[in-house]
Structure 1
Amino acid sequence: RTLGLRHFDVQLIGGIVLHQGMIAEMKTGEGKTLVATLAAYLNSLSGDPVHIVTVNDYLADRDSHWMGEIYKFLGLTVGCITSKTEEVDKVKQYNCDIIYATNNEIGFDYLRDNLKNSYESLCFKKEGFAIVDEVDSILIDEARTPLVISGQSDIAVDIYPKINSIVKFLKDEDFEINEESKSVLLSSNGMEVTERLLLKNNLIKGGTLQDLDNMGLNHNIIQGLRAHHLFIRDKDYIIKDKSVVIIDDLSGRPMEGRRYGDGLHQAIEAKEGLMIQRENQTIASITYQNFFRTYKKLSGMTGTATTEAAEFEGIYNLQVVEIPPNLPVNRNDREDQIYMTKKEKYDAVLQLVLERHQIKQPILIGTTSVDNSEILSKLLLKNNIKHNVLNAKVHDQEAETILQAGMPGNVTISTNMAGRGTDIKLGGDDDLSAKNKEISIKAGGLLVIGTERHESRRIDNQLRGRSGRQGDIGESVFFLSLEDDLM
C-alpha cells in the first residue's frame, strides 16, 4: 500500500530463506531490496536491532528512504549510516529498529565502540540480526580485508622523496616484477646500482642492502619500485584534493580515508609529488569475516553465490538457497568478441555504439578502471556521441547518472560502480518513463558492453545483470583484446 508494490511468491520464499539465517541467491533484478523487508520486519519484533548492510553509500541511502516508508507504516524507526553521517548523529541512527549501513561504516563503528569508555556513546548496544546485501562481495571477496583504525607514528618522512629520485634511475633489467602478487625483486645488478646511488646520496654508510642495518632502506626501495610500476594512477588510485585516494578494485569506488601500509602510501605520494603524510600505527583492527561472526543471526542475498556455496558453509555456516526467477531472463548474452589490439577493440566498441545509438537503444559500457573509462569517453566525444561517465572521480553524480541510464539513446560509461545493486530502469524514472520505456524496448532494451574481463567472473556476471531485469528485453557482449591486462 505504501509503495504500490506487492511481493511475488518467489520473493516470499526469499524472505523465508533470510529469516532462517541462510543466503538467498536471486537473479539480478528480482527485487532483493523488497525481499529484505520481510525478514527485517519479522526479526525486529524481538526488539533486537536489524542491520541491512549494503556495499556503498548510494544503495544505503536509496534503500533506507525507499523501503523506509514500509517500516514507518508498520510503526518502526529507520536509520541510515553512510560515510556522510556525522559522528554526533550515529548513536541516534543506531538506536533505530532497522538500520541501513555500508559494510565499511558499520565495521569501523564497531571498532570505534571498542575504544569508547561510556555505554551511552556506544553504537552497538545489543547483538542483532544482519542481512548482508551482495553477500559474496562482502563475505568472500573482502573477507580478509582488515578494517584498521590507526594514528600517526613519529617516523620521519623525509626519506621518501630521496628514495623516489633513486628509484627513477633504475632500469627494467635492475628488477623483476610479479604482477600477480604485486611484488618486486631487485636483481644482483640492480642491487649494486641501488647501493651506488644510495652511497652517492649519503643514505647508506657502508656495507650492502642485505646488511641488517640497511634492511629498512631495502624495504623503502622495494616500495618505491612498487609505487612506480605496480600501482597505476586512475586505476589503483586517484588524486583528489592533493591526496592519494585508493580505488576499490572490486567496486570501482573511492575509499576515502583508507591508506596503504608499510610505507607504500608514502612512496606513491612521493611519486606524485604530493605532501607526504606520516606512516600510521594500528590502534584497532578486525576483518569482515570476524566482524560478521559477532551477530546473533546472519543472512545474506546476492545474484552470484552458488559458486562459493562451499566456502559460505565452511566459514560462516551459511547455506545457499537458489530462488527461482519470477519471470524468465529475457537477455541475449552474446559470445565474446576478441581482437588483437586494444585499438581494434575500441574501434569495434565505437562501431557498435554508433549503430545502436542511431536506433535510440540505451547503452551501458563497463570498464575496469578510471583510466579506461576516460579513454572511451574521449573516443565517444571525438565522434560526437553524448554520454555520461560514472567513475571514482565523479561518483557524487551516481544517483542522477543511474536514473538516466535507461533513457532511449542514452550512453553511460562506468567502472565497476554500476556493476552491483544498481537498478537501471528502461525509460528512466520520470513522468515520461512509460513512453520512453516503450521506445527503449523497441530498440532492444539495455545493451551492456563489457570492455575487459575482470579477475572475478562474478563481477562480469553482475555487469551483465544490469540488463534484462524483471523480464525486460536486453543484450550483453564483451569486447576483449590480447593486450588486456588479464590476458
Structure 2
Amino acid sequence: MFRVLNQMFDNNKRDVERIVKTVVQPVNALEEEMKGVEDLAAAFMDLRRRVTEGGETLDDVIVPAFALIREAGRRSIGKRHYDVQLIGGTALHQGRIAEMRTGEGKTLVATLALALNALEGKGCHLVTVNDYLARVGMEEMGLLYRTLGLTVGLASRDLQPHEKQAAYACDITYVTNSELGFDYLRDNMAQSREALVLRADTPLNFSIVDEVDSILIDEARTPLIISGAAEKATDLYYVYAKLIRRLQKGEPAEPGKRAEATGDYTIDEKGKQVHLNESGISKIERLLSLPDLYSPENMDKAHMITQAIRARELYQREKDYIVNAEGEVIIIDEFTGRSMPGRRYGEGLHQAIEAKEGVKIENENQTLATITYQNFFRLYGKFSGMTGTAKTEEKEFLDIYGSDVLVIPTNKPILRKDADDLVYRSRLGKYNAVVSEVAEMHATGRPILIGTASIDTSEQLSELLTQAGIQHSVLNAKFEAQEASIVAQAGRSGTVTIATNMAGRGTDIMLGGNAEYIIGESLETQLGVSRYDETVEAFIKAVSRQDPEAEALGMKIPGVTREFVGQALALQAATIEDRQRVRDLGGLHIVGTERHESRRIDNQLRGRAGRQGDPGSSRFYVSFEDDLMRLFANERVVGMMDRLGMDDSQPIEAKMVTGAIERAQARVEDRNFSTRKQLLEFDNVMSKQRDTVYAQRREVLLGPDNDVEESTEGMIADFVDMQLSVHAPADQNPDTWDIEALQAAMLDAIPQLEGYDFEALRGVSPAELQDRMLAAVADVFDARREELSPTMLNSLSRYVLLQTVDQHWKEHLHGMDVLRQGIGLRGYGQRDPFTEYKFEATNMFNEMIDNLKSDVTKFIFRMQFGQTG
C-alpha cells in the first residue's frame, strides 16, 4: 500500500516525466535536422532575435535552442548531451536545484541553461567553488559557446578592473562564489560608473551555482566581508597569548554531579565558545593590575583575552589552519579541505591565532561592506544550482531561496556497493584497521581513495602507509597545486590516494586513469600549447578514440613529433587496458576514515566511486574518539563496549551504533541549520538597510545630473524639516519655539544664511515657518549653483553624496557589529535578543540617515575650491 501511495505522490518522478515529454522528446526529434544546419551561430542568433525583438519567451524557444546546443557540443568538443542531461538543463532553466550524481557531467549540463538564458542578452553567471574549476569549465565549454555565436569570459581575482568588466560583459561568465560576492560589494563602494565591473543595467540576471550545497549551505554560515584597517593596537595579542598560559582549563558544571565549574575557564566545543570563571577573572585582573576586567573601558581587553583562549583551545594547526612558508596563518575550509588565502577570521580571532603561533600579526580590520550568501543570491532575477547531494536539504533551499530540488536520473545504473560502517574503540585501532584493509586490497591491484576530514589525519595515515610499504599520493591543502593531476589518475590500478574532503574537487576519477589529462598537461608544460585550443582538442579526442587520423592532427600542432603522437597513442591503449582490469577487480574502493558532521559530505566521498555505471565500493571507519562521536554520540555505547571487554582490534557492526552515528550527524546538521537561520534572520535586518543605501547610492552613481541635484535638494529640505521639528515643533505653541537655537543650527550648516532675519520668524504659523525657511535655503542653493556653475554643482553633489554615504555606512556597520556582539546579553534581562536587535538597528539606521542629511547639507554649502593657474 505504501509503495502505491509513494508512486501516487512522487512529484519528482512526475516532473521528470513532464520534462521528458515537453522537452527531451521534441529535442530528440530535431536531432537529425540539426545535423544539417551549416551555420549553428546564425541559427542561434535567429533565436536571440525572436526573444529580444519578436516577443517570444525562453520557454517558447527551449526546444530548438537545446537541439542547437546539443549539436554544437557534438561538433565542437565531441560531447553529445544525454537525455538525462537535457532533463538537468531544463531544471536549471526553471530555477531549480538539480541533484546529479558524481560523473554525470554537470559541467556539460550547465551549458544548456546558460546558453538558453544568454539569448536574452542580459548576462549569465556560472558560479564555482574555486578558480581552477572556473577556469577549466570556461576553457572546456568555451568552444561550444563560441560555436553558437556567444561570448564567454572568466572573472578571476587576478584581473584588472577593465578586464573584469570585459568578462562580465560576456554572454556567459565563469566566476567563483567569493569573487562574485566581493565584486558586488566593491561595485557598491565604487566612486564612478567606470569603476563598476558588473553590468550596470543587469548586474545579477541569472546564475547557476555549481556544488550549490557546499556554497549555499556549508559556506553560508560565514558572511562575505570587505574590511579596511582599523586603528587598534595588535601587540597586546602577544601579551595575552602569554598571559593565558598561566590560566588553568577547567571542567564545566554538571547538573546533579558538580555544582560549580572548575579551573579558570571552561570551553564549549560544540558552540566553540569560552567562559571565564570568577577565579580566572580575578587572576587576570591581578596580573594586569585592573580594577574591573568588564568595565566599559576594559571591554576590548576582555574580548581579546577571550579570543586568545579560543585560539589556544578551539583552533588547531593543520586542521583549522596552516602556517605557510611566509609565516601567514591560512584558514582551511572545513568542508572542502582547501586553503582559503585572503580569508581571515573576524573579531580579532585571526590576530589571536597569529600571536599563538608567534608570527607577524596583521592589523585588525573594520567592516566596510558585508552580505550573506543567502541574501546575495536572492538578489538574482533567477537562480539555480547543481550538486550531487541536495535532496536532504530541500526544505532549506525552498524556504530560503525558493528553489526546490529535482533528482535527475543517472545515465546508467549505479553499481557501487556501500558496506556498513566499522566502529572501533579508539582512533589508533581504527587507523590500524584502515591500513590493514588498504594493504589487503592494494595487493589485488584495486585503486583506493582514502577520505580524511583534516590534514593532520591525512599525514598520520600517510606515515602509517609508508611504514607498511604502500606507495601512495596525498592531496590536502598543502598540495593543492597537484590536485587535478592526483585526482585524475586516482583510478589507475594499484593507486592509493589520500584526500581531505572531496567536495567540489571538480575532476572525475576515471577507472584506469585519464590519458587525455596527461596528454593535455604534457602539451602545455613541454610545448606551451593550450589543451583547449581547437586543434589540440581534436588531436586529443582522436587519440582517445585510437583514430588513425591522430598523427595527421598532431602534426598540425607546433612542436609535436611523431614520437610524441606514438607515446600518446600507447598511453591511451594502456589506459583502456587498465580500465578493463580495474573494472574486473571491482572498481574504485572508497575508505572513509571518519564520519563528517554532514551526511552530504560523506555521500560526496562515496559518490567518487561508481560513476557512469562503473563498479565500485565504499566503507567508513569510525572510532569513539572522533570529534563527531565524542561530542554527540551516546555514551552508553562506549560503556557497552567496555562491559563486553572489547579491545581496539574488535569493531562493532550494530544497528544501535549506526543509529547513534546518524543521530549525531542529524544533531550537528540541525545545529548548523539553526546557525545559518539565525545568521540570516539578523542579516535580513541589515539587508533592508543595505538595499536602501545601495539603491540610493546606485541612483546617484548612474543617474543623470538633474536626478543627482534633486536628491541633494531633497536631503537639504529634509535637514531643514529636522531642525524645525527639534527647535520649532509644529505641535507646540509658537511662543515656546527656540528661534536662537534654530538660527545657530542653520548657520552651522549653511553659513550663507548669515544675513537672514530669523527674528522675523517669531509668531508666524508652523506652515509659514516651513515655507519661509525652505524658500530661504532654496535661494541660497540657487546662488550656490550660480557661483559654481550647474556642471560643477552636479559634480560636487555626486561626490559629496557618495563620500558621505560611504563614511556613514561604514560607521553604521561598525556600530551594528558592536550591537550584534553584545545583544545576546539582553536575554539575561528576560528580553528577546532578536527583537531588541531589530529595534536598536532601526533606531541606529534612522539616526545614520539624519546625520547623513546633515553632513551632506554642510558639505554642499561649506566646501570651498581653491584657485589654480
TM-score exceeds 0.5: yes
Kindly state the Cα deviation for residue 217 of structure 1 after the two structures are TM-superposed.
Answer: 1.7
Specify which of 371, 377, 383 is matched with residue 462 of structure 2: 377
| Matched residue SS, 1:406 | coil
Higher deviation after alignment, 181-190 or 208-217 = 208-217
Residue of 587, 601, 613 corresponding to 1:471: 613
Pick aligned residue for 2:278 from 185, 188, 206: 188
Give the structure with the higher percent helix: 2
| Residue segments in structure 1 that go unaligned for 5+ positions in a row | none
Partners in 2 of 1:143 and 1:264 — Cα distance? Answer: 19
Distance 1:58 1:219, change over 3 A: same
Once the two structures are superposed, residues 132-151 of structure 1 have per-residue CA deviations (whole angstroms, 9 ceiling, x without a partner) of 11112222222342111111
Aligned counterpart in structure 1 of residue 110 of structure 2, from 32, 36, 42: 36
| Deviation by residue 1:293-334 (Cα, 9 ceiling, x = unmatched) | 221111111121111112212211112112111211110111
State whether structure 2 residue 158 is matched by structure 1 residue 100: no
Report if the CA contact (8 A) 1:28-1:303 is conserved: yes
TM-superposition CA deviations, 1:316-374 (whole Å, max 9, x none): 11121121112111101110011111111111110111111112111111111111111
Q: What is aligned with 2:121? A: 47
Q: Where does residue 155 of structure 1 map in the other structure?
A: 232
Q: Does 1:123 align with 2:207?
A: no
SS of 2:620's partner is strand
Tell me if structure 2 keeps the 8 A contact 1:253–1:417: no
Within a 5 Å distance, the mapping from 1:171-186 to structure 2 comes to: 171-172=248-249, 173-186=263-276
- Equivalent in 581, 584, 587 of residue 445 of structure 1: 587
Query: How far apart in 1 are the matches of 2:309 and 2:437?
Result: 40
**How far did 1:419 drift?**
5.6
| Contact in 2 for aligned 1:136/1:302 (Cα 8 Å) | yes
The 5-angstrom pairing of residues 73-88 of structure 1 reads 73-88=147-162
Q: CA deviation at 1:433?
A: 2.2
Asked whether the equivalents of residues 207 and 384 of structure 2 are also in contact (C-alpha less than 8 Å), the reply is: yes
Q: Which moved more, 1:303-312 or 1:449-458?
A: 303-312
Residues 164-173 or 120-129, more deviating: 120-129
Amino acid at match of 2:245: K
Which residue in 2 is equivalent to 1:164? 241
Aligned ranges 1:294-305 → 2 under 5 Å: 294-305=379-390
User: What's the CA shift for 1:117?
Assistant: 2.5
**Which residue is 2:834 aligned to?**
none
In the alignment, the residues of structure 2 paired with residue 277 and residue 290 of structure 1 have an alpha-carbon distance, to the nearest angstrom, of: 30
- Distance in 2 (CA, whole Å) between partners of 1:139 and 1:334 is 30
SS in structure 1 at match of 2:423: strand
Q: Which residue is equivalent to 2:214?
A: 137
Shift of the 83–447 alpha-carbon distance from structure 1 to 2, 3 Å rule, reads farther
Superposed counterparts of 1:256-271, under 5 Å: 256-271=341-356
Give unpaired runs (5+ residues) of structure 2: 1-74, 250-262, 516-571, 630-869
Tell me how far apart the structure 2 counterparts of residues 71 and 13 of structure 1 sit (CA, whole Å).
20
Partner of 1:353: 438
Quote the residue 1:411 is aligned against.
496
Verify the 8 A CA contact 2:129 2:211 in the aligned structure 1. Answer: yes
Q: Write the distance in 2 (CA, Å) between the matches of 1:248 and 1:145.
A: 11
Q: Does 1:197 align with 2:287?
A: yes
Match of 2:856 in 1: none
Q: How many residues align?
A: 481
Pairing of 1:239-318 with structure 2 (within 5 A): 239-240=323-324, 241-318=326-403
- How many Å separate the matches in 2 of 1:428 and 1:80? 28
C-alpha distance in 1, partners of 2:205/2:434?
48
Give the equivalent residue in structure 1 for 2:303: 219
2:285 alignment partner AA: E
* Partner Cα distance (2:606, 2:168) in 1: 35
The alpha carbon displacement at 1:421 in A equals 3.5
Q: Which residue of 1 aligns with 2:82?
A: 8
How many Å separate the matches in 2 of 1:82 and 1:346? 40
8 Å contact from structure 1 (residues 234, 370) kept in 2: yes
Among residues 324, 327, 336, which one is paired with 2:412 in the alignment? 327
Encode CA deviations 1:379-428: one digit per residue, 9 max, x unaligned.
11222222111111111111111111111111111111456543111111
Once the 2 structures are TM-superposed, how far is the Cα of residue 212 of structure 1 from its aligned partner? 2.8
- SS for the counterpart of 2:102 is coil
Instruction: State the one-letter code of the partner of 1:232.
Output: Q
Q: Higher relative contact order at CA 8 Å, sep ≥6: structure 1 or structure 2?
A: 1
SS at match of 1:167: helix
Change (3 A) 1:244 1:469: same
Check whether the contact 2:100–2:410 (CA below 8 A) recurs between aligned residues: yes
What does residue 474 of structure 2 align with?
Answer: 389
**Partner of residue 454, structure 1:** 596
Alpha-carbon distance in structure 2 between the residues aligned to 1:452 and 1:171: 31
Larger strand proportion of the pair:
1
User: Aligned equivalents of 1:162 and 1:36: distance in 2?
Assistant: 53
RMSD (Å) for aligned C-alpha atoms:
1.5
- Which amino acid letter does the alignment assign opposite residue 351 of structure 1? S
What is the CA–CA distance in structure 1 between the aligned matches of 2:485 and 2:104, rounded to whole Å? Answer: 22
Distance 1:15 1:263 in 2: 44
The superposition leaves residues 226-284 of structure 1 with CA deviations (integer Å, 9 ceiling, x where unpaired) of 00000000111111121111111111111111111111111101100001111000111
Quote the residue 1:146 is aligned against. Answer: 223
2:122 is matched by which residue type in structure 1? Answer: D
Are the structure 2 counterparts of residues 252 and 338 from structure 1 closer, same or farther at C-alpha, using a change threshold of 3 Å? same
How big is each residue's C-alpha offset from its partner over 1:129-181, in whole Å with a ceiling of 9 and x where there is no partner? 10111112222222342111111111111211111111111112221110111
Distance 1:169 1:443 in 2: 58
Contact 1:360 1:408 in 2 (8 A): yes
Counterparts of 2:621 and 2:157, CA distance in 1: 35
> The residue matched to 2:274 in structure 1 has which SS?
strand
Aligned partners of 1:418, 1:381: CA distance in 2, in Å?
26
Secondary structure at the aligned position of 1:409 is classed as coil
Distance 1:24 1:419, change over 3 A: closer
Residue identity matched to 2:233: A
The answer as to whether partners of 2:232 and 2:364 remain within 8 angstroms in 1 is yes
**8 A Cα contact 1:420 1:462, kept in partner:** no
Q: What amino acid does structure 2 have at the position aligned with 1:257? A: G
For residue 87 of structure 1, report the CA deviation from its aligned partner.
4.8
Q: Is the 8 A contact 2:181 2:224 kept in 1?
A: yes
Q: Which has the larger radius of gyration?
A: 2
User: Could you say what secondary structure the match of 1:181 adopts?
Assistant: coil
1:482 aligned partner: 624
Give a deviation string over 1:45-95, Cα, whole Å, max 9, x none: 111111011112222122111112211221222212334445553222222
Within 1, Cα distance between the matches of 2:484 and 2:212?
22
1:435 positional shift: 1.4
Aligned equivalent of 1:399: 484
